[in-house]
């Protein structure tokens, strides 16, 4: 299989991946960098479990071709806590507000929430629901997730 060498910033550090040209960003994160926080749910852009940030925007990494990552900045769930392990306010809010049940959707939800709160620190409930419209959760009924993001907005103030 033809390989490609892709250089980009991953959670603040410069990295290079030498991977098959057909790989996605999700496959590269999970299998080359062993960052397994982003999950593969559907693999076709419908569930949001694979959401990461590319240049600050939430993307479905299962659809993102790795060659298109060249020169960009990627942030995953592994990159949002402080270096000393202090959780990001969105992570704290999800834990405190029972926004996590089985956890499969959680990293994608948190990354979508981060993309929203980085752009809009005081979102309405409608803004929050729109921001996670592409993230499916089969456990929580979404109420605790929306409340977690509302709490995170307050914690970030
Ligand atoms: S695994 Fe990417 S959207 Fe479902
Ligand atoms: S907590 Fe289980 S899918 Fe959302």
* For the CA of 41, the nearest atom of ligand 1: 1
Picking from 46, 76, 106, the residue at the C-terminal end of a domain is: 76
Give the number of domains in the chain: 2
62: containing domain: 3-76
Query: What ligand has the least distance to the C-alpha of 62?
Result: 1
What's the sign of the alpha-carbon dihedral 118, 123, 129, 133? negative
Picking from 44, 76, 108, the residue at the C-terminal end of a domain is: 76
Check whether residue 56 and residue 108 sit in a common domain. Answer: no
Q: Tell me how far apart the alpha carbons of residues 11 and 1 are, in angstroms, rounded to a whole number.
A: 28
Q: Tell me how far apart the alpha carbons of residues 49 and 109 are, in angstroms, rounded to a whole number.
A: 7
Q: How does pLDDT run across 15-35, given as a tens digit for each residue?
A: 999 999 999 999 999 999 999
What's the 157 CA to ligand 1 centre distance in angstroms?
31
95 pLDDT tier (thresholds 50, 70, 90): very high
Check whether residue 100 and residue 52 sit in a common domain. Answer: no
Q: Give the Cα-Cα-Cα angle 134, 140, 28 (nearest 5 degrees).
A: 45
Provide the CA 146 distance to its chain's centre, in angstroms. 16
| pTM for this model (two decimals) | 0.97
How many CB atoms are closer than 10 A to CB 100? 20
137 within a domain of the structure (yes/no): yes
Q: How does pLDDT run across 51-92, given as a tens digit for each residue?
A: 999 999 999 999 999 999 999 999 999 999 999 999 999 999
């Amino acid at each position: 299989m033809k390989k490609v060498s892709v250089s980009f910033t991953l959670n603040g550090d410069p990295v290079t991946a030498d991977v098959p040209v057909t790989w996605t960003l999700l496959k590269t994160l999970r299998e080359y960098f062993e960052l397994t926080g982003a999950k593969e749910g559907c693999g076709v852009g419908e569930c949001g479990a694979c959401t990461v940030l590319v240049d600050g925007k939430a993307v479905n990494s299962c659809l993102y071709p790795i060659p298109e990552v060249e020169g960009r900045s990627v942030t995953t769930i592994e990159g949002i806590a402080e270096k000393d392990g202090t959780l990001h306010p969105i992570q704290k809010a999800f834990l405190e507000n029972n926004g996590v049940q089985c956890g499969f959707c959680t990293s994608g939800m948190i990354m979508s929430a981060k993309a929203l709160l980085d752009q809009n620190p005081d979102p309405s409930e409608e803004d929050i629901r729109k921001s996670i419209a592409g993230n499916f959760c089969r456990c929580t009924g979404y109420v605790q997730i929306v409340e977690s993001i509302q709490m995170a907005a307050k914690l970030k103030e």
